[in-house]
Structure 1
Amino acid sequence: MHVRSLGFRTDLALLTLTGSVVEDRGTHLVVRTPDNPTYFWGNFLLLAEPPFAGGEREVVAAFQTEFPEASHVSVGIDLIGDRAVEDEVAQRFAEAGLDVDRAVVLTASSVHQPLRSLLDVDVRPLESDEVWQQRAELSCEIDPGVDCEKHIRFALRKNSQERALVAAGHGQRFGAFSRDAEHDGEGKGRLLSTAGIFRTEGGVARFQSVETHPDARRQGLAATVVHAAARHALDHLGAQTLVIVADEAEDAIRIYRRLGFADTERQLMLERRPPHYRA
């Protein structure tokens, strides 16, 4: 199956680099991440085309057959063109009981300086175990609907995957850290915002998980860490195209556009989260 979507193509590239298995069934891909079975978008189906009208529940059943132990359902569709077709497909899957996630894939070959100059934070790569632990805890704090006790296990596995990418020279995760005395220990500040960037195909680097603590938003932190990660990719990873994906309904997309990213395509994802994930 040839994947047209730049968003899904870079997703798959990073997943395979971290040990995920992609099975090509011709009409769809089955993506598995054995080391992290609760990773929604590490264990999913990617359809080459939308199903015929009425076939949505068959797709859900196919997912459950492939992932009988999963408490979630995740289905992507390699659909990058007609918005009217996307709307119609999204409506059909919503009626079949799945939540619809519409995202925009943005790209840039250079980035602008953030509008704000932040003097009270340090921006640097994540390195120590303590700092990576902070990153796992931050991923719980940004989502009030998550069961943190369960989510932290997923977050620590995700950390391990990213740290392996860093060790192999594929990229880096940057953080913005406070400079307050209370957290000026071995970790040198509290992690407030973070963004990862990793090389995928030739000349392409993909952002991963831009996260900012709820109490530190609207201060320019996300723009700062995205800019730092972008400069790293352009200067040290040989990247010519930077790829970032954002929910079309969230504020983050405006931050990325101000940094110089432009809308390139759309990405349609459908999911049903487990009961403990209330968001």
Structure 2
Amino acid sequence: MHASVSNLGLTTDLLLHAQTGIVEALDDYIVVRTPDAPEYFFGNLLVLPRRPCERDVDRIEHDFAKLVGTPPRIAHRTFTWVESDEGSVDLNAFAKRGYEATVCKVLIAQPHHSRPVVTNREIEVRKFCFQEDWDAWSEMHLADMSNPLEITSQRYIAHQQTTYKRLIEQGFGDWWGAFIAGEQVGSLGLFFLQGMGRFQSVLTAEQHRNKGVCKTLVSTVVGLTANRAERFVMVADETYFAGKIYEALGFEPHGRVAALCHEPGSIATASR
């Protein structure tokens, strides 16, 4: 049985990918493909059975090309795996080859055991109801990207919007916004699969950070949807401050997931 079964972060990722793309167990891997979005780096990837070492790179790159794709259609390479619960993770050897590494905490909360927090009473939390909500969502997410004007970024955001709308239409969940005086200042997705509520893309607009938007949004949505899930799952970059916010709300660490992504145009060192 693949290790992802015991890691609720990766498990819920795969459950979502199975609704929006193709998920297959092949050889030693789980292969994720999103045929209509080849530029979706984390929708076209290999799930590895364990953390790779530098001597594995040529092999897993070869297998990625065979199982996921090659340029020009698939111009990136992405790998993910279940990481050990404790200790530092040294992936510097991959950075020298042009890969960006991330290690994320998987955080779990019980629906009726959230901690009381101080929320921002100016914030209205509601489901997305209008196309204007999604337009503001796209603008906010593009502004948070490193290259918002690139056509690949815009295609990615357009695909994500279409995908999330389709999941909502199929009854898997909703997208929620935080609004101050009618302006969207934050948002998140929450989708329900096999008794679990999985949060997606929690984001606060840069100019509205440090105003309690994230705490207000997450705690309110958990309260409003508590009867739909046995537990809520959140995945957060362990180097990013948001994880501490979620833990303050009652989310508890439940493992880690790591990933390597070599984006198109990433520059490898001469040793490559």
Task: Tell me, yes or no, whether TM beats 0.5.
Answer: yes
Paired residues of 1:166 and 1:172 also in contact (CA < 8 A): yes
- Which deviates more, 139-148 or 68-77? 139-148
Q: CA deviation at 1:148?
A: 4.8
Structure 2 partner of 1:262? 252
Q: CA deviation at 1:155?
A: 1.1
Task: Show the 5 A alignment for 1:63-102.
Answer: 63-65=64-66, 66-68=68-70, 69-81=73-85, 83=87, 87-88=89-90, 90-102=91-103
Structure 1 partner of 2:16? 14
Task: Supply the AA of the counterpart residue of 2:157.
Answer: A
Task: Show the 5 A alignment for 1:196-275.
Answer: 196-201=189-194, 203-235=195-227, 237=228, 239-275=229-265
Q: Does 1:192 align with 2:185?
A: yes
| Cα-to-partner distance string for 1:16-51 (whole Å, 9 max, x where unaligned) | 122x10121130011001122211111111011234
Q: CA deviation at 1:145?
A: 4.0
1: distance between equivalents of 2:86 and 2:126?
A: 41
Corresponding residue to 1:116 among 119, 135, 142:
119
Cα distance change, pair 118–152 in 1 and its aligned pair in 2 (3 A):
farther
2: distance between equivalents of 1:216 and 1:64?
A: 42
SS in 1 for 2:83: coil
2: distance between equivalents of 1:34 and 1:137?
A: 25
| Cα-to-partner distance string for 1:101-121 (whole Å, 9 max, x where unaligned) | 0110000103224323322x3
TM-score (structure 1 length as normaliser): 0.85
Q: CA deviation at 1:13?
A: 0.4
TM-score (structure 2 length as normaliser): 0.87
Structure 1 partner of 2:177? 175
Q: CA deviation at 1:172?
A: 1.2
2: distance between equivalents of 1:218 and 1:82?
A: 29
| Cα-to-partner distance string for 1:84-129 (whole Å, 9 max, x where unaligned) | 6xx25x244334331110110000103224323322x321001211
1: distance between equivalents of 2:131 and 2:79?
A: 33
Q: Structure 1: 5+ residue runs without aligned partners?
A: 180-188
2: distance between equivalents of 1:168 and 1:232?
A: 20
The percentage of counterpart residues that share the same residue type is: 29
Q: CA deviation at 1:53?
A: 5.0
| Cα-to-partner distance string for 1:130-158 (whole Å, 9 max, x where unaligned) | 21121111111123444454322211211
SS in 1 for 2:152: helix
SS in 1 for 2:39: coil
Aligned residues between the structures: 259
| Cα-to-partner distance string for 1:226-245 (whole Å, 9 max, x where unaligned) | 1222223313x2x0111001
Q: CA deviation at 1:264?
A: 1.0
Cα distance change, pair 11–273 in 1 and its aligned pair in 2 (3 A):
same
Task: Supply the AA of the counterpart residue of 2:161.
Answer: N
